[in-house]
Structure 1
Amino acid sequence: MPSSAFELTAGEASLSLVPGCGGLIHALVLPTAVGPRNVIAGVDPSEWQDNPGYRGSVLFPFPNRLRDGRYRFAGREYQFLVNEQATGTALHGFLYRTPAEVLRGGGDDEAQTVTLVYACDATEPGYPFSARVSMTYTLCASGGLSVEMSVENRDSRAIPVGMGWHPYYTLGVRLDACRLELPPVERVLVDKRMLPTGERVSDTRFAGGGALQEVVLDDCFDLGSEPGRAAAVFTSRTAGFGLELWQETGPGALNFMQLYTPPDRQSLAVEPMSCGIDALNTGDGLRILEPGQSVSGTFGVRVIGC
């Protein structure tokens, strides 16, 4: 069944989501110093259903990779489809292929809001739990988007929860003409299957800013758990503007960030995550929600100068 995009506008800013294909973010136009620009490298409509690269997807009940697609919880073993054959892992849970319901919000000339809701009704073999996931997008005419992702346990038993988002950001130029700045971070070391070894190292490559020329990234960074806001700053003098890609941190918040440079080098994936790689097995950042409990995380993007 063909899907269509849902459009939200606020001044010169606009947001395009595809509810029928996991609520993926297809485009985000923001006003910049050089005029309105689409800062999302989206998916061609012909590929919305398959979505190679999981572009713009909502990640639940785990982001990143799950070893062999398998985990144990409360004494039972569960199995997800292995959808990355090269590493023998499951990637990104199942919301990327789950339709979302659109709940219109409100707003004014300065900001507009919409919420997408996913009903997880215990029919997923790897996750036979009942939960309600919602994504509330607030688009600001001044040049920003904030997103609140929340999960409510609607089951009669405890459930494990990991969550994240998978946008690919573009400044309209190749990455080789861009720079990246990160806060103090530790890089999660991985093996040949891109699974964590249990070790971390301090990574200062982008402290104070560094060029992305010839840099290849597919790395998970631990931001620490101090309450506050952490951000990746992505800029280009060639483009004439930049983006601050922020996420709230703190106990139980979004304390991990995955960075990925796709082979075409036209964009940078900056993925806020509540947990680390293979968290359903390692427990690294995993949340356990009792019946009726909820958890949420907030992240977003803001236009900045160079």
Structure 2
Amino acid sequence: MAIEENKQGNGINPITFNGRRAYELNFSPYQAVVIPEFGGNLVAFRHVEKGYRFIREPEDMEDFKQNPCLYGIPVLFPPNRYEDGTFKFQGHVYKFPINEKSKNNHLHGFFYDRPWDVSGQGQTENGCYLELTQKIDEQTEVYRYFPHQFRFILRYTLSSQGLSQNVTINNEGPNAMPLMLGFHTSINAPFARTSKPEDYTLHLSIQDRIELNDRSLPTGQKLPLDEYEKKLANEGASPYFKPLDHHYAAAGNEENRMILTDNNEKVSLVYHTGEQYHFWMLYNKDAKSGFFCPEPQTSMVNSPNIPWPTDETGLIELKAGETWSAESRLYMTKG
């Protein structure tokens, strides 16, 4: 879809996005597009005045259907891989379907391609928002594998300050549930039409690399950052220095974020995830496809199966009646 300034002004419009029903959020100078019926995926975040497309947008909808986690901001609940699709939590054995057959893992959870209910929308003088909900109980398919009653609320708010993502998860059942959440955020680099991949510098708040085995599961070892990774954590480095599918512990403070700088346009995209997300995956496919994925996660890959304390793996116990929430933001800055 071409980037065009919204003729109706700020607000929310139902649209058709490459054949799918969607919602377009507009608040100058930004625009966003969400597809509730397919994963609740926010598939576009744009700076209309500059013509920037920050998020990798699906144009081939068949490829989007086949590879939904490589476009937009897919919801991963739970995130990444689980060994043999099985883990134990408080005496209950969970058995997820094996959807990564080559490695005999369960991959990326249940919500990235499911329809979400639109539970709210609105506009104020400061922004507009769209709220999406998954309600899981005995009547839903997810309950077969994850037998908990809970409500997952995802709210996107667009304002002149950028895009905010608010997550609220309510445990509405009688038992504690494991909470593991991530987002497979796909970022364009270049996001400006006038720039090239070599114009970009990536900074990521990381402190340790978590070693993965040939099944892409943690070995139980942490590794020191190599020279390239030290640059990522400090002054920044190219997001395409080499092919990446690496797992990291986050820096562990409220400044946990990704900064992608376009040195040609002299602007930066900031992805501020805050301290609720303790880990990152960093994926760039083949290091030459024009996008990469800085993926914030609350917990380590395969966290229930890692024999470490939960304060190290990030596994969250959400007790009956409790609520968990987190906020992330995407916005542009100068320089």
Asked whether the two chains share a fold, i.e. TM above 0.5, the reply is yes
Choose the corresponding residue for 1:274, options 298, 301, 319.
298
Aligned-pair CA distance for 1:109: 4.5
User: What are the Cα deviations for residues 148-206 of structure 1, in whole angstroms up to 9, with x where unaligned?
Assistant: 11211111111111111112011335544421112352111111111011111232131
Contact 1:10 1:109 in 2 (8 A): no
Q: Which residue of 1 aligns with 2:40?
A: 23
Q: Which residue of 2 aligns with 1:296?
A: 325
Choose the corresponding residue for 2:210, options 177, 185, 188.
188
Contact 1:175 1:267 in 2 (8 A): no
What amino acid does structure 2 have at the position aligned with 1:79?
K
Aligned-pair CA distance for 1:215: 2.1
What amino acid does structure 1 have at the position aligned with 2:148?
F
> 3-state SS of the aligned residue for 1:5?
strand
Aligned-pair CA distance for 1:54: 4.8
Give 5+ residue unaligned stretches, structure 1: none
Whose relative contact order is higher, 1 or 2, with alpha carbons under 8 Å and at least 6 apart? 1
Whole-angstrom CA distance in 1 between matches of 2:114 and 2:55: 21
Q: Which residue of 1 aligns with 2:168?
A: 150
Aligned-pair CA distance for 1:88: 1.8
Whole-angstrom CA distance in 1 between matches of 2:296 and 2:177: 21
Give 5+ residue unaligned stretches, structure 2: 1-18
Contact 2:239 2:284 in 1 (8 A): no
Aligned-pair CA distance for 1:87: 2.1
Matches within 5 A, 1:166-181: 166-170=184-188, 171-172=190-191, 175-181=197-203
Q: Which residue of 2 aligns with 1:216?
A: 243
| C-alpha spacing 1:272/1:118, structure 2 compared with 1 (3 Å) | same
Contact 2:201 2:237 in 1 (8 A): yes
Aligned-pair CA distance for 1:239: 5.0
1:162 matched to 2:180: yes
User: TM-score under structure 1 normalisation?
Assistant: 0.89
Q: Which residue of 1 aligns with 2:258?
A: 232
1:130 matched to 2:149: yes
Aligned-pair Cα RMSD in Å: 2.1
Q: Which residue of 1 aligns with 2:85?
A: 69
Whole-angstrom CA distance in 2 between matches of 1:181 and 1:119: 36
Aligned-pair CA distance for 1:74: 2.5
> 3-state SS of the aligned residue for 2:98?
coil
Choose the corresponding residue for 1:42, options 25, 48, 57.
57
- Segment of structure 1 superposing worse, 289-298 or 215-224: 215-224
Contact 2:170 2:323 in 1 (8 A): yes
- Segment of structure 1 superposing worse, 149-158 or 257-266: 257-266
In the comparison of the two structures, how many residue pairs are matched? 297
Aligned-pair CA distance for 1:66: 0.8
| C-alpha spacing 1:184/1:52, structure 2 compared with 1 (3 Å) | closer
Whole-angstrom CA distance in 2 between matches of 1:174 and 1:65: 33
User: What are the Cα deviations for residues 267-297 of structure 1, in whole angstroms up to 9, with x where unaligned?
Assistant: 1211111111012322511111111111112
Choose the corresponding residue for 1:248, options 267, 274, 279.
274
- Segment of structure 1 superposing worse, 66-75 or 118-127: 118-127
User: TM-score under structure 2 normalisation?
Assistant: 0.82
Choose the corresponding residue for 2:27, options 7, 10, 29.
10
Contact 2:85 2:106 in 1 (8 A): yes
Whole-angstrom CA distance in 2 between matches of 1:231 and 1:15: 21
What amino acid does structure 2 have at the position aligned with 1:39?
F
Whole-angstrom CA distance in 2 between matches of 1:93 and 1:258: 15
Whole-angstrom CA distance in 1 between matches of 2:133 and 2:45: 20
Q: Which residue of 1 aligns with 2:12?
A: none
Whole-angstrom CA distance in 1 between matches of 2:79 and 2:197: 24
Choose the corresponding residue for 2:105, options 69, 89, 102.
89
Aligned-pair CA distance for 1:232: 1.3
Aligned-pair CA distance for 1:48: 4.3
Q: Which residue of 2 aligns with 1:139?
A: 158
